[in-house]
């Protein structure tokens, strides 16, 4: 059961936006709808998804106040529009809704790649519409309208990457929106965001997909043994590798340069560890493990994860 509104953020007395339109009803879109409605962040929350069965399920779940039958109908007269679609779809969706956007509206997104999204969306922006790209660094391995819950963004980072010269009022309103859902907002350039996320999110996902695939392909180890004897590390990899394949396909294609740079560095570091193992160089292994252990402790100290002892996990 999702937490009650009192458990994650205060409800606003007056809505921040009159009408909020959410395009795409997956984990992020449905979570935004839950939170925006519960916390009175928008007077009216309208959603749209291109899949009819998803729209029907959203109606059954009571997501938002209205489920529109077209993207244009959803964004009509909306003050804030959020594209919750795979990054490769942001440009086409922006083109589809452009003529229906009203002057003064703020368009945003939730993609984990920013530079290519900015390049794809900006040419379609009508006069008077502000674009403030956003990336909530939050999620689970689940997807679809049933996966959302209102506290998903609590104490999680949300990175805004507005272009130079973007309207300060639009940036401030977008910041207020995410902070209203309990997120911690950071602002950086789109290029820097893509480099940071390449190492903190995109490369780990690529490695996870590869390792789980390797385990599946290993003929000497049966699938039942992989499942039965999965220790904590492999369980974490399977959780990451269960993420939406369409979303991650687009991430790697649209953040190619940064991912390839990080993958190159990773390969070089892996070669050093390979050599240390092959030649019994325990000092190199110990130094590397000691250095990386400090990063883990820093993540725990920042509240981004709980220590293993608090999780009571048993391998």
pLDDT of residue 314: 35
Distances (CA, A) of 195 to 145, 184, 188, 191, 269: 30, 20, 11, 6, 18
Instruction: Output 144 or 141, whichever has higher pLDDT.
Output: 144
Looking at the structure, do residues 181 and 202 belong to the same domain, yes or no? no
Residue 229's pLDDT band, with cuts at 50, 70 and 90, is low
Residue 294 is assigned to a structural domain of this protein: no
Average pLDDT of the chain is 87
CB 41 within 8 A of CB 181: yes
Looking at the structure, do residues 39 and 177 belong to the same domain, yes or no? yes
Nearest CA to 82 among 37, 19, 145? 19
What value does the mean pLDDT take over residues 35-50? 97
| Residue 78 confidence (pLDDT) above 90 | yes
Among 188, 208, 228, identify where a domain stops. 188
| Residue 233 confidence (pLDDT) above 80 | no
* Domain region containing 38: 5-188
CA distance 311 to 305: 10
CB 171 within 8 A of CB 205: no
Nearest CA to 26 among 89, 73, 78? 89
| Residue 230 confidence (pLDDT) above 80 | no
pLDDT of residue 200: 82
What value does the mean pLDDT take over residues 23-45? 97
CB 186 within 8 A of CB 144: no
CA distance 147 to 205: 20
Looking at the structure, do residues 151 and 127 belong to the same domain, yes or no? yes
pLDDT of residue 9: 78
Instruction: Output 104 or 139, whichever has higher pLDDT.
Output: 104
Coil/strand/helix, residue 280: coil
Q: What is the CATH number of the domain that holds 202?
A: 1.10.3660.10
Instruction: Output 310 or 162, whichever has higher pLDDT.
Output: 162
- Per-residue model confidence as pLDDT tens digits over 295-309: 766 655 666 554 443
Q: Say how many domains are in the chain.
A: 2
């Amino acid at each position: 059961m999702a937490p009650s509104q009192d458990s994650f953020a205060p409800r606003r007395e007056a809505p921040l936006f009159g009408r909020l339109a959410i395009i795409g009803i997956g984990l992020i879109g449905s979570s935004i709808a839950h939170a925006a409605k519960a916390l009175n962040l928008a007077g009216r929350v309208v959603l749209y998804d291109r899949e009819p069965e998803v729209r029907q399920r959203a109606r059954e779940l009571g997501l938002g106040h209205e489920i529109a039958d077209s993207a244009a109908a959803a964004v009509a007269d909306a003050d804030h529009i959020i594209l919750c679609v795979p990054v490769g779809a942001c440009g086409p969706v922006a083109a589809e809704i452009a003529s229906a956007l009203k002057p003064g509206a703020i368009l945003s997104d939730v993609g984990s790649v920013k530079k290519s999204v900015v390049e794809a969306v900006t040419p379609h922006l009508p006069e008077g519409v502000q674009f403030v790209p956003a990336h909530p660094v939050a999620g689970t391995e689940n997807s679809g309208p049933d996966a959302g819950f209102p506290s998903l963004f609590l104490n999680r980072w949300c990175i805004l990457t507005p272009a130079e010269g973007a309207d300060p009022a639009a940036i401030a309103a977008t910041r207020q929106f995410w902070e209203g859902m309990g997120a911690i907002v950071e602002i950086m350039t789109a290029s820097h965001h893509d480099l940071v996320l390449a190492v903190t999110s995109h490369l780990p996902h690529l490695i996870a997909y590869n390792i789980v695939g390797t385990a599946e392909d290993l003929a000497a180890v049966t699938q039942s043994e992989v499942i039965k004897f999965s220790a904590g590390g492999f369980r974490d990899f399977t959780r990451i590798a269960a993420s939406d394949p369409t979303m991650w396909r687009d991430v790697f294609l649209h953040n190619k340069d940064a991912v390839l740079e990080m993958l190159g560095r990773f390969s070089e570091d892996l070669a050093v560890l390979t050599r240390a193992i092959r030649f019994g160089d325990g000092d190199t292994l110990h130094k590397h493990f000691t250095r990386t252990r400090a990063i883990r402790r820093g993540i725990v100290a920042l509240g981004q994860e709980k220590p293993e002892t608090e999780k009571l996990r048993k391998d």
